[in-house]
């Protein structure tokens, strides 16, 4: 890092401990924050991956996630929608009707809420996940279509008058 740019992306996925336990991530929100701070203190560029679409997720959590990101030494985020892949415990829950993946419109609304409160200093590298292994994707079907999904999120943001930093203040 002393000679060239080094960027690290951390798969935090959520800063909510209940969501992290549900997804069996193996780390806590506090551990993720500590890791982010340690990597940044070493002089490395830090980005985080976040997933939206958890079963118990709500607007307050989305806003709090943006505010927490603003307070952390990160330079970028990549947003993902929670989707079901074959051969995973999530597929079992989906098959039993115990989990329904987020649809594109509500996902887009969550992205908009997050972006509204996200500092303009944080680059957004991705708005939605693409299932790179189509044969493994169970649901939702919209995850197959990268540009269609991306455009739908952009269109929803425009319709709602949302943009990154719209509700951001230095004290938020």
Cα R_g (the chain), whole angstroms: 16
Tell me the pLDDT tens digit for each residue of 49-83: 999 999 989 999 999 999 999 999 999 999 999 99
Establish how many alpha carbons lie within 13 A of residue 159's alpha carbon, considering only the half-sphere containing its beta carbon: 9
How high is the mean pLDDT of the chain?
94
Looking at residue 134, what is its pLDDT?
78
Express as a percent the part of the chain with pLDDT over 90.
87
Judging by DSSP bridges, how do beta strands 84-85 and 137-139 pair with one another?
antiparallel
Taking 70 as the threshold, does the pLDDT of residue 100 lie above it? yes
Looking at residue 36, what is its pLDDT?
98
CB 52 within 8 A of CB 81: yes
Taking 70 as the threshold, does the pLDDT of residue 97 lie above it? yes
Looking at residue 145, what is its pLDDT?
86
Residue of higher predicted confidence among 1 and 34: 34
Taking 80 as the threshold, does the pLDDT of residue 132 lie above it? no
Looking at residue 135, what is its pLDDT?
87
Task: Name the pLDDT band for 171 (thresholds 50, 70, 90).
Answer: low
Looking at residue 133, what is its pLDDT?
75
Q: What is the 3-state secondary structure (H, E, C) of the chain?
A: CCCCCCEEEEEEECCCHHHHHHCCCCCCHHHHHHHHHHHHHCCCEEEEEEEECCCCCCHHHHHHHHHHHHHCCCCEEEEEECCEECCCHHHHHHHCCCCCCCCHHHHHHHHHHHHHHCCCCCEEEECCCCCCCHHHEEECHHHHCHHHHHHHHHHHHHHHCCCCCCCCCCCC
Residue 93, Cα to own-chain centre: how many angstroms? 21
Looking at residue 126, what is its pLDDT?
96
Sign of CA dihedral 120, 125, 129, 130: positive
**Whole-model pTM?**
0.94
Looking at residue 73, what is its pLDDT?
98
């Amino acid at each position: 890092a002393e000679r060239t740019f080094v960027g690290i992306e951390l798969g935090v996925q959520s800063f909510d401990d209940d969501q992290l336990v549900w997804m069996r991530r193996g780390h806590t929100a506090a551990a993720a924050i500590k890791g982010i701070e340690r990597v940044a203190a070493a002089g490395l560029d830090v980005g985080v991956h976040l997933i939206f679409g958890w079963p118990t997720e709500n607007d307050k959590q989305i806003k709090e996630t943006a505010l927490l990101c603003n307070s952390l030494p990160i330079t970028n985020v990549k947003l993902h929608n929670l989707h079901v892949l074959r051969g995973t415990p999530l597929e079992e829950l989906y098959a039993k009707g115990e989990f329904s993946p987020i649809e594109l419109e509500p996902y887009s609304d969550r992205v908009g809420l997050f972006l509204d409160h996200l500092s303009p200093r944080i680059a957004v590298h991705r708005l939605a996940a693409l299932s790179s292994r189509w044969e493994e994707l169970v649901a939702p079907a919209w995850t197959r279509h990268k540009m269609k999904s991306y455009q739908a999120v952009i269109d929803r943001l425009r319709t709602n008058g949302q943009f990154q930093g719209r509700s951001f203040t230095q004290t938020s």
